[in-house]
Amino acid sequence: MTNNAQEQINLITNKSKIRYLDISNRDLTGNVDLKEFTGLISLNSYNNKFESLDFLNSLPNKEQLKKLNFFGNQIKEIDLAHLFSTFPKLEYLNCENNPLSAKNLDNLSSEHQGNNNQQQNAQYLQTLIQQGSSPVKDNKQNGNNNPLLVGGLVIFGITTLAIDYLLGKKSK
């Protein structure tokens, strides 16, 4: 059984005071108007049925958002360039276990990044794409003991996007 996401959101009170919103494991579908969540910095929405992240555009204070967890939804496409420019402080994105495809990986540039670390990591991903390398084979950057970061994001599911993109680019 699926549930209309907006109906669930409408039941929440004091939306402007909520910083961490967890609407996980509810089989939610449809679009959600998040304009009243003025203080939101983290959104957990794993194991639902969302097909897109477009509804995130309704958030009023996009520069505050740091964490998105959409593990186990039905998200088909992510425009990373748009995501980075819309949410410049995004530090964590989990889109694992979704039927994803990449969009605008070639358009990742410093103008879409919020800080130097994000710029460096986006350039690293672009280099991998241009070289036709797989980030899974070498998931660390020189002098950096962190897992592969794209635009400063902790990677879950996005690596798969990069690999699919690389494979598609090689076959052209």
Give residue 124's pLDDT: 55
Q: What is the mean pLDDT of residues 80-100?
A: 83
Give residue 64's pLDDT: 96
Q: What is the mean pLDDT of residues 99-126?
A: 56
| Average pLDDT across the chain, whole number | 74
Give residue 138's pLDDT: 40
DSSP letter string over the chain?
A: --EEHHHHHHT---GGG-SEEE--SS-EES----TT-TT--EEE--SS----SGGGGG-S-GGG--EEE-TTS---EEEHHHHHHH-TT--EEE--SS--EEESSTT--GGG-SSHHHHHHHHHHHHHHHHT--TTTT-S-TT--SPPEETTEEEESHHHHHHHHHHHHHT-
Range name among 30-34, 53-57, 98-102 with the lowest pLDDT average: 98-102
The pLDDT of residue 110 is above 50:
no
CATH topology of domain 3-170: 3.80.10
Domain boundaries, the chain: 3-170
Proportion of the chain above pLDDT 90, given as a percent? 41
The pLDDT of residue 109 is above 70:
no
pLDDT tens for each residue of 120-137: 555 555 555 455 444 443
